[in-house]
Amino acid sequence: MTIKEKQQEIVKDFEFLDDWEQKYEYIIDLGKELKGLPEDKKTDENLIKGCQSKVWINAEFKDGKLYFNADSDGILPKGIVSLLVSIYSGHPTKEILDSDFDFISQIGLQEFLSPSRANGLMAMTKQIKFYAVAYQLKS
C-alpha cells in the first residue's frame, strides 16, 4: 500500500468518528499499539525538538526502505507519532519525500490540538522528511 493510500485510509477512519472525544480516543488507542523504543534509542539525537512532551523517532534504512519506530512519554503524542509511523514506515525515501501531509488537515487534527501540540506535530513531520533526505543522500 502506498503512502497516499494509507493517508486516505486514515481519513476514512476519522470520517466514521462522530466527535473529537472519539477521535481523541482513537489516537490514544493507536499509541497503545505502538511498539515503542528501547531505552538505548531514547537519545537526544532521536528526541524531537519542539514537542511539549518527549517524543523520540528512530529511523533505520534497509532494503531500500526507511523504517521508523517511535515513542513518547505522553499518551496523545504517542498516538500522533504512532499514526505517522504507520503511514511512513516501510517506504522508499523518494516516496516519503514526494508525499505531503495534507491528510492532517483533512482529518482536522491541527484544529483539535493546542498550539504547542500542533508545533510538536509539525516537528515530527519535519523529522520524518529529514530522515528521508539524510538516508537518500547516503544511498
Q: How far is CA 120 from CA 12, 19, 101, 116, 139, in A?
A: 24, 23, 14, 6, 29
| Whole-number pLDDT of residue 139 | 64
| Whole-number pLDDT of residue 96 | 96
For 73, half-sphere exposure in the C-beta direction (CA atoms, 13 angstrom radius) is: 8
State yes or no: pLDDT of 45 exceeds 70: yes
- Mean pLDDT, all residues of the chain: 92
Residue numbers annotated as active site: 51
pLDDT tens per residue, range 115-127: 888 889 999 999 9
